[in-house]
Amino acid sequence: MTANTPDLPPCEGITPESGPKIGVIYNPRSHRNRGRDLDCVASARVMVEQPATRHDITAALQKFAQEKIAYLIINGGDGTVRDVLTCGGAVFAGEWPEIAVLPKGKTNALNVDLGAPADWNLDAAIGSLAGGKRIKRHTLKVEVADGSHQPRLGFILGAGGFTLGVHAGQDAHRMGAFNSLAVGAATAWGVMQGLFGGDRNVWRQGVAIRLKLGPDGREAARSKYGDRTRRFVMMSSTLEKFPVGIKLFGREKSGLKIALIDHPRRRIMALLPVILAGWNPAWLAQAGVHFLTVENYVLDIENEFILDGEAYAAGRYAVSKGPELSFVVPQ
């Protein structure tokens, strides 16, 4: 569906009669878009689509590809980005356009990493095509290990306590906390549950999980603490910076990263705030906190996991770096 709001001005970040073609995916259901419309409308060089389903997203991207767009603007939150990149994997293959993401969702973790301003709008994003900075990031590619389903592309995968944290974050959203505030509130609640809860507390039970790393399929290291078949929390991402300055993977680094906590020992939970602030002494691995950088891994998991806010079923998945994309942000 093409957006058309005659009362708004045309998108003028580029001269309508010349320059590269631009495609815009606009999600009116994203948190910061609800009750509002676009701040500018389609012109001769700017095509705007409002797809309602993933099938519609694919159709819109195919139209953009046929028009040979050079710039794709995603107006929505992390879930919209996940769906557009997943559908775009089959459409653009190795010839992706440059991409800008407007932070219109509840958390917008990708934009935290890229450093785009919270008030970035469509007209400004179009104007940044000529003079903006380029930041390259690999996506996280997740596919059923037997290859029977379309791979998903996203940026943050998590399981165990992270899954519970996402649900707690949704509760925070309902109470009016969004973006970094919601992430901080969910993290603090998880620490409190892990620190003071009993062994039957769902926050402390973790999830049965097995990780085989790299082409040789070596088992991920594990400490002596807790049930050896379970991990308290597992996270994986290709992003480098995270909301509220959290250092999810120790020192800031590129590549496909994994963070694991084996068991919610009270000593570790008490230290978690400083660990998330970047404190990473050598003995942490023996204590059950692991930071890994890998090319790929196989994830066997007994319960659901989360990819950019969406739950996926238990099973066996191959996880690797997806396509490297060029993101445009203001100079």
Annotate 176-222 with DSSP letters as a single string: T--HHHHHHHHHHHHHHHHHH--TTSHHHH-EEEEEEETTTTEEPP-
pLDDT classification of 10: cutoffs 50, 70, 90: low
Q: Is pLDDT of 276 > 50?
A: yes
Highest mean pLDDT out of 17-21, 81-85, 162-166: 81-85
Q: For residues 117 and 71, which has the higher predicted lDDT (pLDDT)?
A: 71
- Measured over the CA atoms of residue 297, residue 149, residue 108 and residue 175, the dihedral's sign is negative
Using pLDDT thresholds of 50, 70 and 90, give the confidence band for residue 189. very low
Amino acid identity, position 272: L
Domain 22-137+325-329 shares a fold with domain 156-307 = no
Segment 205-221 mean pLDDT: 94
Query: Architecture of domain 156-307 in CATH?
Result: Sandwich (2.60)
pLDDT tens figures, 41-94: 666 788 999 998 999 999 999 999 999 999 999 988 888 999 999 999 999 988
Query: Strand 22-26 and strand 71-76: pairing?
Result: parallel
Q: Which amino acid, residue 167?
A: H
In the chain, % of residues over pLDDT 70: 78
pLDDT for the residue numbered 145? 86
- Ordered by start, the domain boundaries in the chain are 22-137+325-329, 156-307
pLDDT tens digits, one per residue of 103-116: 887 778 898 899 98
Average pLDDT for 8-15 = 61
Q: How far apart are the C-alpha atoms of 210 and 207, rounded to whole Å?
A: 10
The pLDDT of residue 184: 46
Please give the model's pTM, rounded to 2 decimal places. Answer: 0.84
Q: Is pLDDT at 204 greater than 50 in this prediction?
A: yes
Q: What percent of the chain has pLDDT over 90?
A: 52
The residue-averaged pLDDT of 130-134 equals: 93
In the prediction, which pLDDT does 175 show?
38
Among 177-186, 242-251, 320-329, the range scoring the smallest mean pLDDT is 177-186
> Mean pLDDT score of the chain, rounded to an integer?
83
pLDDT (0 to 100) of residue 1:
46
Q: Which CATH fold topology does 22-137+325-329 show? A: Rossmann fold (3.40.50)
Task: Return all residues near 272 (Cβ < 8 A) that are at least 6 apart.
Answer: 191, 194
pLDDT at 183 over 50: no
Mean pLDDT of the region 275-301: 95
pLDDT at 30 over 60: no
Round to whole Å and give the CA distance between 46 and 269: 50
pLDDT at residue 291, as a whole number: 96
**φ, ψ dihedrals at 31, nearest 5°:** -50, -50
pLDDT at 148 over 90: no
